[in-house]
Structure 1
């Protein structure tokens, strides 16, 4: 049999390269890369996710890695640029990701509470008792890309004929819901807005003095948070993830711990159409116009 050493060596090199590529691809598919918008301190996000990550790893038979991000924009860019597989978004960040990706992201599940989520306005000032009383005052939102800490509170202010940018003395962005509470309680601003879930958690943990800081307005309900994946995710994996969330039950210890940490009664399916009102509010507030996403460039 005629042997061609150079050709044999080339085939061997190609075979080895192919094997490495296949191996690398197989490894990549064994890791689910997860993140969340940084609406609370990084340590708190890690604490809340660990039991959920362990559970998903068991259900999916794959490693689940949580990667914290520095800001809301990074969570959007991470998903659409294939650096993340699944992200806990607010309604506004989902709308931004949907726009930035050209509708190539899919919201899988949301907490039952997210069907009628609310924001609260808080203050230490006894003279502030309604939205109109905020005129001439200093105020803090959360992150600029936050649904419950900026977009929807701004939307309700505008509906009450209060333009934060012209009617208030100064507007700040704290970056996170717990930071907004700290800004108000510390006297850095007269009032602020944050999501009701974080507020209730801080109150229940005794981390806010309700004799000094109080809620003076609670918004009507709106759709908010969800777990979103890229549209190019394997449909089988996507279904397994959704099924794992839907199977969480307060009647078993593991499910109870996860749901309590997520401040959820249960998870339910969701769809992109649920966030049409969020998209409309973003456009109305000038935070999402045409191809713009409101994300920093």
Structure 2
């Protein structure tokens, strides 16, 4: 009887292990990103990276688009997705909303000193001070590079966008901001320098018509974030996968070009303290 019971227990443990392995194999690792560009562009940018991560973590990887910045925060906190590409401000919001339960995993080297640009078609606008009495478009209200930091630097220049400008608008995305400026809907716009450079390279904007008149100082911005309670082994596999990407290797080149990254580096929550302070100073984080 003892032997039979031991055999049954062993068989039960083997079955449980097999079932657990099958569950793990069937599990989908879901990734999302703040919608700072068109959904089709975000999908295109992520596809090669997703295929690379699948091989590195041994799980199916799927990109799950969200409707707005707030939705990306809620999706990660509520375990609808496993990893999100956040802007610095969105990470701060997620970290505060989750009471410190979000961990920034890696960032591009470029994100240590990220910048925003102000663009215009108006020949009379050549400095931030020239924006007084004019119309301006930001990106999303929750965007670090499309709203928070441009607003911060306007305030630093003693320009209150809510009272000193004729009107402010929110386009929802960086490329939409450029379209609003180019189309004459606003006198100027503020956006992420990376998207601006990409639009120039793709010849989707004419620099003779739409030009940069101010570039901000550098600040910490984007990162890939996960929940702090993520399995440690999986977290390490993800981190190692990003850090192993090498732009000089032909097999990694397409990934890095689409991510507009020279390399990925580790990051930490402390890096975003200045973003948090800027948000509180601008009245965007209570």
- Report the TM-score when normalising by structure 1: 0.89
SS in structure 2 at match of 1:206: coil
Q: Deviations over 1:207-242 (max 9, x none)?
A: 001111000000000000000000110010000000
Q: Runs of at least 4 residues of structure 1 off by over 6 A?
A: none
Is 1:126 the counterpart of 2:105 in the alignment? no
Q: Does 1:218 align with 2:191?
A: no
The alpha-carbon deviation at position 253 of structure 1 amounts to 1.7
150, 164, 177: which is aligned to 1:180?
177
Q: Give the drift of 1:97.
A: 0.3
Q: 1:40 aligns with which of 26, 37, 42?
A: 37
Whole-angstrom distance in 2 between the partners of 1:113 and 1:285: 24
Equivalent of 2:162, from 141, 165, 181? Answer: 165
SS of aligned partner of 1:108? strand
Q: Indicate whether 1:99 and 2:99 are aligned.
A: no
- State the Cα deviation string for residues 233-265 of structure 1 (Å, max 9, x = none): 001000000000000012222211100000000
Given that residues 119 and 210 in structure 2 are in contact (C-alpha distance below 8 angstroms), is that contact kept between their aligned partners in structure 1?
yes
C-alpha spacing 1:85/1:238, structure 2 compared with 1 (3 Å): same
Q: Could you tell me how far apart the structure 2 residues matched to 1:251 and 1:173 are?
A: 38
- Change in Cα spacing, 1:25 to 1:148, as seen in structure 2 (3 Å) is farther
Residue 283 of structure 2 is matched in structure 1 by 286
User: Is residue 2:85 matched to residue 1:72?
Assistant: no
Match of 1:49 among 28, 46, 49: 46
Q: Which residue of 1 aligns with 2:194?
A: 197
Say which of 113, 127, 146 aligns to 1:116.
113
Distance 2:54 2:149 in 1: 34
Q: For residues 70-98 of structure 1, what are the alpha-carbon distances to aligned partners after superposition, in whole Å with 9 as ceiling and x for unaligned?
A: 10000000000111110000000000000
Cα offset for 1:28? 8.1
- What is the Cα deviation at residue 25 of structure 1? 8.8
Question: How far apart, CA to CA, are the structure 1 residues paired with 2:20 and 2:161?
Answer: 54
**How far apart are the structure 1 equivalents of 2:74 and 2:22?**
22
Q: Is the 8 A contact 2:104 2:269 kept in 1?
A: yes
How high is the TM-score relative to the length of structure 2? 0.92
Secondary structure (helix, strand or coil) at the match of 1:148 reads helix
Q: Name the SS of the counterpart of 2:186 in structure 1.
A: coil
Distance in 2 (CA, whole Å) between partners of 1:26 and 1:184 is 50
Q: Deviations over 1:17-56 (max 9, x none)?
A: x97xx66992487321100000000000000000000000
CA contact (8 A) 2:108 2:261 kept: yes
Q: Show the counterpart of 1:12.
A: none
What is the alpha-carbon distance in structure 2 between the residues aligned to residue 172 and residue 24 of structure 1? 51
RMSD of aligned alpha carbons: 1.7
CA contact (8 A) 2:25 2:59 kept: no
Q: Count residues with an aligned counterpart.
A: 272
